[in-house]
Structure 1
Amino acid sequence: MHISSGLEYSGPVGRIRGTYELPVGYVDVLATIFLCVCYADSSLLGIVSGERYVWFAVDIAALLTVLARLSRFHDCLIANPWLTAWPVLAMVSALWSLTPAVSFYHGLQLLMTIVAGYVFQLYFGRSRLLRILFCALVAAQILSVLSELVLHRSAMDGGNAWFGIYTHKNVLGSMMALSALCAACLFMDGWKRPITGASFIGSLVILYLSHSTTAQVATFVGLSPLIVFAIWQRGTLFTGFVIGLTIALGSVALVYVVVHSDAISQQFLSDVGKDRTLSGRTLLWQFAADQFWREPWFGIGYKAYWESSSTPFSYLQFVIGQKLWFFHNNFYDVAVAFGAVGLIFFGLGLAACFKRACVSALNGRSYSDALPLSFCFYLAVSINLENALFQNHSFSQFLLAALIPVTVKQIRSGVDRSLDYNYPSST
């Protein structure tokens, strides 16, 4: 069996009987606009909760596309059952949830978020989607800089952290982290290097100005697979030398960290401007742990903790001093909502996606093939300090379904190359 990105089916190659497909350029522009504004602060335009309308339009478009391509969408469901099982579990949790209607409704939205990701991959293919995503994030960079220069949005926050066109510094940081990953892949593949190189530098500058520590750490962790991939491309002899040198230096570093762990942790937290509670996260996690042990097997239902009057939600917000709607840790959120059963489903889904990403990187010929693995490394940080996954209308959840290979087919060698665009060299 060969794991492919769906390029053998992707794009409006021809008309499907009974349906009408928009011209390629028009669809690309619409996709770029969606990826740029789906998390933007619509209040800048005087619109309340504008992102809901954007996601609703995408959900409808995805549903219509699925109805037109049922066989191809069925391939996605069969090939990646554990990822698809997440929204199913969320909807089924309505049977025992403290807030059944909320759990089912948000579970349905989670399903449509993943379905939209599948549709984007089947329609565009990963390489074409990467370039669309890159253009969207470049637009987000430009608009964010303009919003700060014109509206001075950073002045609204006491710490002078940039928000850009988004509602929070962490959202801007996560978008710039993804922008850096996309730009790095395209730059190393030789695609329009003056533009991708400038975008990479711009992403890092805005990332720094956002003061989002989580996004900064996630960016450099996410870039590490691309460095390994670059070494791998140099040949086995050079790779073996680098691996040996890394193991030797890593062993020395590990011994040093073990001996001086306490001093290192204090210095690191001081350098990134955090305290030992990680800005209150450890206290937040204690609330989550207490709730988990009350219902350890099946939890209290998807999103029920934040909507039910039977939970200490109001007291938590009072103690933390913030209006929170998640535990800043995906594992705790899943554990509270679904108990141990949910953690098993969550872990299996992550493992399946990571396996596909590794296969894509090892069998790939370009740095773009390593992007899914790079994205997985980025998520390894995000899911431990934010709520990137298992979240309805989450950008990271959408990208997980869109970037990770989800279609399994027996295809001839070279099909992907014949149907996808080649990167023109720009040196």
Structure 2
Amino acid sequence: MFIIYLPIEAFSPLRYLCILGFLAIAAYDYKRIVPLLVRCWPLFTLAILGLASVGWAPYPAEAFRQGVLFFLSAFVAVVIAVHLTPQQILRIIMFAGMATTIASIPFWGTFAGGGPYASKNYFAVHMLFCMLLSLITVLNEKEPLFLRLLALPFVPTCLLFIFMADSATSLVFAVLGGAGLIAIKFFWAPATKVRGLSMLVILFALVVVLVGALAVFNMPQNTFVERFLDIVGKDATLTGRTALWEGARLAAEEKPWFGLGLEGFWYYDSGAAQTLNENDFKAFGTKLTFHNAYWEVRVHLGYVGLALFLFFLGWTSLRLLYLWFQDGSLVNSALVLLIAVNLTMTFTESLLWGMFTTPVLLQSLAGIVPFKLHAPKLEGRARIVPAS
């Protein structure tokens, strides 16, 4: 998990060894894994289209490689979900985040440039997940005391690292996500124990949001967006993202239905890609992203790929909501919050368009975990005493 959490080139051989390990586990435990793989088919639709794009991508070998990795990302998530509970999975991701936080300390002065990651946004997002998962552990009374004490110092540490990375998006999500987890712990969790009260809380929250939105939109000379951007140190272009999105729109118009194929835009001899690099003051040949998961899919796999991507997001998110209404535990509520952060960040980051990333793993687990809702659970062990 640490290898996924800190995706640097030095770990590539280990990453492939881990994939081989998961394939071996699947071969050994195929009786449990294969049925779940079939039931989780929506996780693989986009990867299948990506593999098919080998036929029209400018670099078929690279497209095939990335398509296989897309497929294996979902496959690994299924194998993990078969053998671990949601609480154990979140705990392991937290440990990976803790290890990454410690490994980032030598890069103390370079957080604004990304630290051990390729960009500050990637670094801040992973610190955000570590902070939220550590806070979940601190608030969860079912976790061992030593584990809660271990997680406690990582909450302010990760928050400090996010602040030092100067990533406004992650900082906002850290504040809102932390407040959301505290609200879940002290308001939502008690409400689920009273029949009908949880629905009343949801309706009350919706009313508050709608009333607030109406009040804001009906104010003359509404400048809340501009003032918010000033507070977080951003401008109306969202640090150049709007220029990237315009470039994505132009690229998507070349092949609107099936896109340019995997690895079909950010390659060395693409004039449009290198123009965006030049405008963003990046070195020639740099592989950027469009900082928007939907534009990434539109450019590479077209409208068909976008439809499959939206289906993937909808299927996983709605299944998790179903689980949440069936079992509103703190762990499931925290997973809902993490997925909400995931979905919101798709508009400004491209992490959900990738393979073997923490957001992709969490999103896949959101669709898989509900299948285990009624699975047998170990409640304890009892001694069998023969009748006298």
TM-score, structure 2 normalization: 0.85
- The structural deviation recorded for 1:241 is 6.5
Aligned equivalents of 2:363, 2:208: Cα separation in 1:
33
Report whether the alignment pairs 1:204 with 2:159.
yes
Partner amino acid for 1:90? G
Which runs of structure 2 are paired with 1:164-179 in the superposition (5 Å)? 164-179=115-130
Which runs of structure 2 are paired with 1:64-75 in the superposition (5 Å)? 64-75=24-35
Which residue is equivalent to 1:327?
290
Which runs of structure 2 are paired with 1:306-385 in the superposition (5 Å)? 306-307=266-267, 309=269, 312-322=272-282, 323-364=286-327, 366-385=329-348
- RMSD over aligned Cα atoms: 2.8
Aligned equivalents of 1:100, 1:383: Cα separation in 2:
27
Which residue is equivalent to 1:39?
7
Aligned equivalents of 1:369, 1:360: Cα separation in 2:
8
Report whether the alignment pairs 1:215 with 2:176.
no
- The structural deviation recorded for 1:331 is 0.3
Q: Answer whether contact 2:315 2:367 (CA < 8 A) is retained.
A: no
Comparing both chains, which one has the higher relative contact order based on Cα–Cα distances under 8 Å and sequence gaps of 6 or more?
1
Of all paired residues, the percent bearing the same amino acid is 21
Report whether the alignment pairs 1:180 with 2:131.
yes
Structure 1 segments of 4+ aligned residues over 6 angstroms from their partners: none
- The answer for unaligned runs of 5 or more in structure 1 is 1-30, 41-48, 155-160, 420-427
- The structural deviation recorded for 1:304 is 0.6
Report whether the alignment pairs 1:253 with 2:212.
yes
Partner amino acid for 2:132? L
Report whether the alignment pairs 1:119 with 2:79.
yes
Q: Answer whether contact 1:181 1:222 (CA < 8 A) is retained.
A: yes
Aligned equivalents of 1:69, 1:273: Cα separation in 2:
51
Q: Answer whether contact 1:218 1:379 (CA < 8 A) is retained.
A: no
**SS where residue 385 of structure 1 aligns?**
coil
Pick aligned residue for 1:232 from 169, 185, 188: 188
- The structural deviation recorded for 1:109 is 1.4
CA deviations 1:5-42 (Å, max 9, x no partner) are xxxxxxxxxxxxxxxxxxxxxxxxxx5x4355x325xx
Aligned equivalents of 1:220, 1:359: Cα separation in 2:
26
Aligned equivalents of 1:409, 1:246: Cα separation in 2:
29
Aligned equivalents of 1:76, 1:311: Cα separation in 2:
44
Q: Answer whether contact 1:330 1:383 (CA < 8 A) is retained.
A: yes
Report whether the alignment pairs 1:275 with 2:235.
yes
Partner amino acid for 2:28? A
Which residue is equivalent to 1:396?
359
Aligned equivalents of 1:65, 1:334: Cα separation in 2:
31
**SS where residue 50 of structure 2 aligns?**
helix
- The structural deviation recorded for 1:234 is 2.2
- The structural deviation recorded for 1:52 is 1.6
Which residue is equivalent to 1:6?
none
Aligned equivalents of 1:62, 1:261: Cα separation in 2:
57
Partner amino acid for 2:3? F
Change (3 A) 1:102 1:203: same
Which runs of structure 2 are paired with 1:133-144 in the superposition (5 Å)? 133-144=93-104
Aligned equivalents of 2:83, 2:176: Cα separation in 1:
30
Aligned equivalents of 1:245, 1:360: Cα separation in 2:
21
- The structural deviation recorded for 1:291 is 1.6
TM-score, structure 1 normalization: 0.78
- The structural deviation recorded for 1:403 is 5.3
Which residue is equivalent to 1:14?
none
Change (3 A) 1:338 1:167: closer
- The structural deviation recorded for 1:333 is 0.6
Change (3 A) 1:162 1:408: same
- The answer for unaligned runs of 5 or more in structure 2 is 381-388
Aligned equivalents of 2:372, 2:153: Cα separation in 1:
38
- The structural deviation recorded for 1:114 is 2.0
Change (3 A) 1:380 1:401: closer
Q: Answer whether contact 1:113 1:398 (CA < 8 A) is retained.
A: yes
CA deviations 1:44-98 (Å, max 9, x no partner) are xxxxx21322321221112222222223222332222221112111111111222
Which residue is equivalent to 2:149?
194
Q: Answer whether contact 1:143 1:164 (CA < 8 A) is retained.
A: no
Change (3 A) 1:404 1:185: farther
- The structural deviation recorded for 1:280 is 0.7
Which residue is equivalent to 2:386?
none
Aligned equivalents of 1:315, 1:162: Cα separation in 2:
22
Partner amino acid for 1:195? L
CA deviations 1:193-239 (Å, max 9, x no partner) are 33333322322222222211222233345456645644332235765
- The structural deviation recorded for 1:370 is 2.2
Aligned equivalents of 2:356, 2:321: Cα separation in 1:
26
Q: Answer whether contact 1:87 1:111 (CA < 8 A) is retained.
A: yes
Which residue is equivalent to 1:422?
none
- The structural deviation recorded for 1:334 is 0.3
Q: Answer whether contact 2:97 2:127 (CA < 8 A) is retained.
A: yes
Partner amino acid for 2:335? P
Q: Answer whether contact 1:137 1:179 (CA < 8 A) is retained.
A: yes
Change (3 A) 1:339 1:166: closer
